[in-house]
Structure formats: C-alpha cells, structure tokens
Amino acid sequence: MRLIPWIKRNVVLVVTVIVPTLGAIIYFGLIASDVYISESRFLVRSPQQKMEGAGLFGDLLQGTALSRAQDDTYSVHDFMLSRDALRALDAKIGIRNAFARNRVDPLNRFPPLFLDDSFEELYVYFGKHIDIEYDSSSSISTLTVRAYSASDAQKINDALLQLSEGLVNSLNERSRQDLVRFAEGDVKVATDKAAAAAVALFSYRSKNAVFEPDKQAEIQLESVAKIQEDLIATEAQLAQLRKISPTNPQISGLESRAETLRKAIASEAGKVTSANGSFSARAQTFERLTVDSEFADKQLGTALADLETARSEALRKELYLERLVQPSLPDKSMEPRRIRSVFTVFLLGLMVWGVASLVIAAIREHAD
C-alpha cells in the first residue's frame, strides 16, 4: 500500500528508469540468446611484376613475391556482402535454418517480428550479422560472422571464404580466357593473311612460269651474250670471206646463220625487256606478292610471340585469396554483453528522467 503512493509521486522515474531497467534485466538475463562470433583473416594478392634492371638476384626475389591487389580485395568484399553470395550460401548450408531455430529469442529470430520471410528481408537481416574490416596498411581483411551457435558461426564464415575463393578462381579463368582469346584471334587473322599471300605468290609463279625474275633475267641475258658472241664471230668470218673470196659459196650460209642469230638475240632480249610478258614486266607484280608474303609472315611471327606473351601474362596476373587465419570456433559467446547492456539502459533512463523532470518542473513553474 505504501508503494502505490510512491509510484504515483514518481511516475516519471518509474516509466523512464525503473520499468526499462527491469525489462532489460529480464530480457538480457533470461531471454536474449547467446551470440557466438567467428573471425577469419584473409589476403587477396597477385604476383608482383618484375622490375627492370633488378638483376638475377632481384628477379629471384621478385619472381616469388606477391603484390597486394587492393581493387580486387574490394571486389571480394562486395561479393561477400552481395545477394549472390547470400543466395549461394543459403543453397550451400541453409542459412535460414541457422537464424530461424527455436533456440533464438523472438527479437533476434528470423523472420523478425511483424515482417515476412522474403529473401530481401533475409538479406537485410544477414547484413547485420556479417562484418568485414580492411586494414589498408597491411591489406589484411577480417571477416566477422555472428550466429547463435558456435558451429553455425564457423560454418558460415568458412562457406563465405570458399565462395570468395571460387569467385577469385572464376575471375582468374575469365581474365586468362580473355587475354588468350584475343591473342589467338590475332594469330588466326595473321595465319589467314600469310596463307593467302603464299597462295597468291604460288599461283602467280605457276601461271607465269616465274620463280625469281631477277635471276631468270640474268640467265637470259647471259644466253643473249653468248649468242651475240656467235654473231660477232660469224660476221667476222663473213666479212673475211667477202674480202678474200667474194664468190665463195659459204657466204650465203654465213649470211643465213648471221640473220638467224640476230633474230635469236632479238627474241631472247625481248623476254627480258619487252613491255608485255617479259621478266621485267612480271617482276613488279612478283616483287609485290613477295613483299606481301614476307610481311604476312612477319605479322604471323609477331602474333605468335604476342600469344605466348599473353599466356605468360595471364598466368602472372592470377589472383590469390590466402587465408591467414582460419575461421575460429568460439567456445564462449561474446554477445550480448548483458551487464553492460542493462547498465546502458539504466543510464539512458536516468538521462531521460532528468530531462523529463526539468521539463515538467518548468511547465509547473510557468503554470504557477
């Protein structure tokens, strides 16, 4: 009976301090579920490029060193916090069951009070139970998972790391395929050009009976020179006979031979210097086809070298997700911090009670 008048006189204190504090004591002391925290640390890195002029010793050191891949680290973080990761996680270990079990208190159980169990609600709910911290100085990421059993926390943490490793592997494969595919495309184009140029050159040689115009012309000119020597000898002999014996019957034969040699010289010389069908006329087209074939072969060699470089580059650019600390299996719940939570509610109640008391006193004073 004495308590009721006191409550009436101190209703503000009761409402703002005593009732919330008692509610906090009941909830955190009897109802709130234990929260287990599993932590892991990982590093995303890629092979470091070799420095020019570092020497053999520097190459040995840098060839095995791995540089940090900050941009790729952020990509892994985004994936871990994404809907795709949650969807894969739910399919892998049944994430809904881990948060919807009967041992989880009603305020923390999924789905939350007055909300549905849609995937979007699960995504929002799960985002409150996972945290990623990144140390820019060391590039080490810390993955923290909160769950209502030690095994669930460790299982979720490990599954997220496995999914992220799969993401890194898929990025590696895609990068490798893109680099090599583009280089292989260039090799195919260069191969087709080289083959077409070789076929064109072979067809021209077969059709025009020309293989090395310059050398063939040189041989032809040598033949013309020999015929000219015969012609000179014949004309000399003919001149001598005409001088010594103008009626000699050999003169007609020598004249006929000289005429034949002159026609042979004109014919053979025409094969080298005439405007149509000569080696000189065919040399221009032949040289152009030869240059095209040699240029196509050089392009093919460059494309093949680029393909090998692309393959080496693809291997050198591979990413690695390395676990520095494996997901821990907590043997004790770290949350909720019951005493601190009750004390926090009590202090907040006192602050509200103090403000409310001042406001009520001011109102009364103003009314008086």
Contact indicator for 24, 346 with CB cutoff of 8 Å = yes
For range 235-250, the mean pLDDT? 74
Paired tokens of 195: 């083959």
Which pLDDT score is estimated for 322?
84
Q: How many CB atoms lie within 10 A of CB 239?
A: 11
pLDDT of residue 245 exceeding 80: no
How far is the C-alpha of 193 from the C-alpha of 202, rounded, in Å? 14
Q: pLDDT averaged over the chain? A: 75
- Give the model confidence (pLDDT) of 164-187 as tens digits: 988 888 877 777 776 667 777 777
The terminus-to-terminus CA distance of the chain in angstroms comes to 31
Going by pLDDT thresholds of 50, 70 and 90, the confidence category of residue 279 is very low
**Residue linked to tokens 């602050």:** 351
pLDDT of residue 7 exceeding 90: no
Q: What SS3 class is residue 324?
A: strand
Question: What are the DSSP calls for 167-222, one per residue?
Answer: HHHHHHHHHHHHHHHHHHHHHHHHHHHHHHHHHHHHHHHHHHT-S-HHHHHHHHHH
pLDDT of residue 289 exceeding 50: yes
Which pLDDT score is estimated for 160?
93
Question: Is 135 exposed, middle or buried, given 0-12, 13-18 or 19+ CB atoms closer than 10 A?
Answer: exposed
- Give the model confidence (pLDDT) of 92-111 as tens digits: 888 888 888 777 777 778 77
- Give the model confidence (pLDDT) of 52-68 as tens digits: 444 443 444 344 444 44
Q: What SS3 class is residue 326?
A: coil
Q: Which residues contact 214 (CB under 8 A, 6 or more apart)?
A: 279, 283
Which region, left, alpha or beta, applies to residue 51 given φ > 0 means left and ψ of -120 to 50 means alpha?
beta
The CA-based angle 65-71-77, given to 5 degrees, is 110
Looking at residue 29, the DSSP 8-state letter turns out to be I
